[in-house]
């Protein structure tokens, strides 16, 4: 096992991690499409009637305009199948915000699949911004894994970022950083330091 520290921003990642980061840019694109999908879901959640229980809420239980329990939405568009699950969705019309609890998003393409999970999050319809918090894990079928405590998507800037500690791993290569910034517009990825990179070599 080889390990070293670097203390520079931006950091030039070793080859194997750099390949993983290129895959991460693809993951950012997928997440962007997930955000658009979730925005559509927020507007049509009730009409689709895909939830076992829908409850109106008063001021005693919540300030939300509507609470939806065990939300589950599935759609297929352009050969891509989406599945969104949330233990609870709280819709705040005045704020243009939908609060989600126990989030799970799965994306299935013909040759790959993606999964994003988190304990809670907020979706803002006007800006198409999304924030997922607490035990956030993004995984892909080709072995890429991203772990952090908060992950944000800014729709206008096409920016996926976190200012919390983040771990990227793939195929025995692990990179730990203090923040991550993926900008799809210029295809740049910055893993802020100090960065701790580990390679684990198996049998020759």
Kindly report the pTM of this predicted structure: 0.70
Does 179 fall in a domain? no
Does 147 fall in a domain? yes
Higher-pLDDT residue of 5 and 188 is 188
pLDDT of residue 4: 35
How many angstroms separate the CA atoms of 80 and 151, rounded?
23
| 8 A C-beta contact, residue 13 and residue 197 | yes
Nearest alpha carbon to residue 98 among 48, 43, 152, 56: 43
Q: Give the pLDDT band (50/70/90) at residue 165.
A: very high
Does 121 fall in a domain? yes
Does 51 fall in a domain? yes
Q: Give the domain extent around 18.
A: 14-56+64-158
Query: 189, exposed or middle or buried, with CB in 10 Å at 0-12, 13-18, 19+?
Result: buried
Q: Give the pLDDT band (50/70/90) at residue 119.
A: very high
How many angstroms separate the CA atoms of 54 and 68, rounded?
5
Does 132 fall in a domain? yes
pLDDT of residue 9: 40
Overall number of domains in the chain? 1
How many angstroms separate the CA atoms of 163 and 98, rounded?
22
Q: Can you tell me the mean pLDDT for 107-113?
A: 83
Q: What is the CATH number of the domain that holds 34?
A: 2.60.450.10
Lowest-confidence segment of 76-80, 122-126, 168-172 by average pLDDT: 76-80
Does 83 fall in a domain? yes
pLDDT exceeds 90 at position 135: yes
pLDDT exceeds 90 at position 109: no
Does 173 fall in a domain? no
Does 97 fall in a domain? yes
């Amino acid at each position: 096992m080889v390990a070293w520290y670097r203390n520079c921003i931006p950091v030039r990642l070793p080859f194997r991690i750099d390949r993983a980061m290129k895959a991460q840019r693809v993951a950012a694109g997928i997440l962007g499409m997930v955000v658009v999908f979730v925005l559509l879901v927020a507007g049509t959640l009730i009409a689709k009637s895909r939830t076992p229980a829908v409850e109106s809420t008063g001021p005693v239980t919540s300030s939300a305009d509507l609470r939806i329990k065990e939300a589950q939405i599935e759609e297929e568009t352009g050969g891509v199948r989406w599945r969104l699950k949330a233990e609870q969705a709280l819709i705040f019309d005045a704020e243009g915000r939908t609060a989600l609890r126990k989030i799970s998003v799965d994306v299935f393409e013909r040759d790959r699949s993606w999964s994003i999970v988190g304990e809670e999050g907020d979706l803002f319809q006007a800006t198409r911004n999304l924030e997922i918090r607490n035990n956030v894990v993004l995984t892909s079928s080709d072995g890429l894994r991203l772990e952090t405590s908060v992950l944000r998507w800014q729709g206008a800037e096409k920016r996926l970022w976190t200012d919390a500690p983040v771990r990227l791993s793939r195929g025995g290569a692990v990179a730990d950083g203090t923040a991550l910034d993926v900008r799809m517009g210029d295809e740049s990825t910055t893993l802020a330091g100090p960065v701790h990179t580990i390679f684990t070599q198996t049998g020759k």
